[in-house]
Amino acid sequence: MNIKPRKCGVDLIGSCVMSDVALQTLYNLWSQTRAERLAPFRAEIETPRAGPLAAIVFQLEIQGDIAKIRHPGAVLNKIAGAEAHGRSLVSLMSPESRAQLVLVMKKVLETPAVAELVLNAQDDNGEVFSVNLLLMPLRSDFGVMDRMLCGVTSAAPPAATPLTLSIADVQIKTIAAARFDAQTMPGFSEPAAAFGAQDTPKFQQVSDNPAAQSGVSRGRFRVIKGGLDEG
């Protein structure tokens, strides 16, 4: 299934405005944390301590084509109808939207990009709610882009029963890094210094070279027996 993303500005997501105030606030926090890098590290984001945003925030851990939900807030748990931690986000989608969601998530991590989705959430009685979903890339502690910081909001209180989600609209916003994006966690290790000409040892011919230096003389070892110097 092909996606025709609607882009904002000229690949600079700072000029884009989210359709939801809470998601805009979450995006601003993510953007400040990444500090002009392509994505922040997972360790820099404390999802359970998101303060007023805790109800809408969750993370995704990507394992192949499976996106497992981590630390879901109250809104996502209500949409799922139960505790959503450990579940696949794709399992909450309608069959016709699952492949499209997988493609969107791949774009978020591989481009990388930020994606905002408008979802229709239908309950068992056929009532439909409007849901907004925000996906933003994160790096693991090893620097691999295989995590996402996410936010989900609903225009109406979700029903107590599980809701089936379907994609109504998608916006993809490419991330532009303004400075070097390190692949490893800062402070864990520093790159090894390259060998330079100034560090190259200078060899000197010794044989048949009267200018060669014989080197510094070394001291002699002395045998010590019983604690007494016999040398």
Report the candidate in 176, 179, 136, 181 with the shortest Cα–Cα distance to residue 11.
176
Q: What is the DSSP string of 47-58?
A: GGG-GGGTTTEE
Per-residue pLDDT of 25-72, as tens digits, reads 999 999 999 998 999 999 898 766 667 899 999 999 998 778 999 999
Please tell me which residue, 115 or 158, carries the higher pLDDT value. Answer: 115
Q: Cα 54 vs. chain centroid, distance in angstroms? A: 19
Rounded to the nearest integer, the mean pLDDT of the chain is 77
The pair of structure tokens assigned to 110 is: 């591989």
The yes-or-no verdict on residue 212 having pLDDT over 60 is no
Per-residue pLDDT of 89-102, as tens digits, reads 999 999 999 999 99
The yes-or-no verdict on residue 114 having pLDDT over 90 is yes
Report the candidate in 19, 58, 53 with the shortest Cα–Cα distance to residue 149.
58
The predicted model gives 75-80 an average pLDDT of: 93
Per-residue pLDDT of 116-148, as tens digits, reads 999 999 988 888 989 999 999 999 888 899 999
The yes-or-no verdict on residue 221 having pLDDT over 60 is no
CA–CA gap between residue 7 and residue 19 (Å, rounded): 14
Give residue for tokens 């070394």.
Answer: 218
The yes-or-no verdict on residue 228 having pLDDT over 70 is no
Reduced to 3 states, what is the DSSP secondary structure of residue 220? Answer: coil
Per-residue pLDDT of 160-201, as tens digits, reads 778 999 999 999 999 987 665 654 444 433 333 333 344 433
The amino acid sitting at 177 is A
Residue 200: predicted pLDDT: 38
